[in-house]
Amino acid sequence: MKLTDISGNVNEWFDGSGPLADIVISSRIRLARNIAGHKFLSRCSAAEKSEILKKLRDMLMSLELGEKIFYLSVDKTSLLGRHFLVERHLISRHHAFGKGPRGAVIARREFFTAMINEEDHLRIQVLKGGCQLSQCYEQINHIDDMIEQKVDYAFSPRYGYLTACPTNLGTGIRVSVMLHLPALKMTGQIEKFLNATRDMGLAVRGLFGEGSEAAGDFYQISNQATLGVSESDIISLFENAIIPEIVEYENAARNQLLSKEPEVLDDKIARAMALLRNAHLISSQEALFLLSHLRMGINMREHMGASTPAIEKLSELSDASRGTDKSETLSIRTINRLFMLTQPAHLQLNCGKQLGPERRDALRAEIIRSALNG
């Protein structure tokens, strides 16, 4: 399989489906594992790394996942290809730009990825759209059971699964949810929310873009402690306490905007619409922020029945594009698609050549204009 086979489409976990998907974009569970009898990677020679890579690759490719899987030799993938895999959340930045023999096994529909020789010998992840942590765990646990039949994991009764960094020790589990919180940002409550989540011992990061800033109001929340707490307890904390609370706050903020500051809300949406439909140069950072406002507007209409002048305009926009007999309409799916496909490596891979920043900004603006102008 080639990367261009998937680069033209949005990943299944980002297609706007799944429970609570208007706020919870996706759920992800990752497990860190190491093979008994081998050193951790920092102490492995290139030969030992290659040996681990081959062993794990052969084992993973023989798994019955009920889905086509393919293998990528990450150290032999082009720089652009590696950027693409990071943009798509298939591999980590650390894995993409690391050193030495390393690889990734990816399921065709991208719900499952295994990274071989990242920080640990093996890191497996399952991703699903919306709030589906229990389903993610069920699936990854099953895959982990299958792997365990074929290799011996480094495990101690006291410390559980042994990982290269003690911060992943125990269950080796990282539970993450990706959230879209534009109203908390607009109402100035986001810092309060970020501090509260950090106080709970959770890590908060941006979902898109490089630094720590959450571009486009997308946040990723993950557990930090992995030892002394069971997988099911961590998941239940997210599903029964953390996620419902955040969703409630974001919804309250959206209602507050509607009832108290409809002009502020409409201004954001209308400006975003005007810029996105007319700009000829647009940076990825700007696109993320503007698309975020459109996404919020559409979701407020669909989930809360909101009807302000700007939101009405948005729905006309959507009707207009439906009328043109195009299969794509201005749905959340289309907006999500724009988020994904206008990232730098996606743009370049899809047009088949390397582009400088200015050319990318022009192409990005063109793609967005044509999607929003019907």
Partner 1 sequence: MYCQNCQKKEATIHLTEITDGLRTETHLCEHCAQEEGIAVKSQLSINELLSSLLASQPSDDEVFGDSKQNISCPHCGSTLEQFTKDAVLGCPYDYEVFGKSLLPLIKKAHNGKKTHCGKVPSKASTGTKEQIELMKLRQELKAAVQNEDYELAAELRDKINQREK
Residues that bind partner 1 (CB under 8 A): 34, 36, 38-43, 119, 141, 144-145, 148-149, 152-162, 164-167, 169-171, 173, 201, 211-213, 224-231, 285
Q: Which CB sits closer to partner 1, 39 or 333?
A: 39
- H/E run at residue 256: helix 243-260
Q: Which CB sits closer to partner 1, 74 or 162?
A: 162
CB of residue 142 to partner 1, shortest distance in Å: 12
Residue 194 identity: L
CB of residue 362 to partner 1, shortest distance in Å: 18
| Three-state DSSP state, 63 | coil
CB of residue 299 to partner 1, shortest distance in Å: 26
Question: What's the token pair of residue 325?
Answer: 């007999």
Q: Which CB sits closer to partner 1, 9 or 156?
A: 156
Q: Which CB sits closer to partner 1, 171 or 336?
A: 171
CB of residue 149 to partner 1, shortest distance in Å: 8
The candidate with the shortest Cα–Cα distance to 103, out of 68, 127, 75, is 75
Q: How far apart are CA 306 and CA 67, in angstroms?
A: 40
Q: Which CB sits closer to partner 1, 29 or 314?
A: 29
Q: By CB neighbour count within 10 A (0-12 exposed, 13-18 middle, 19+ buried), where does 284 fall?
A: buried
Question: What's the token pair of residue 159?
Answer: 């410390």
CB of residue 165 to partner 1, shortest distance in Å: 5
* End-to-end CA, the chain: 32
Q: Which CB sits closer to partner 1, 213 or 261?
A: 213
- For the chain, how many residues are written? 374
The candidate with the shortest Cα–Cα distance to 276, out of 348, 329, 339, is 339
CB of residue 60 to partner 1, shortest distance in Å: 17
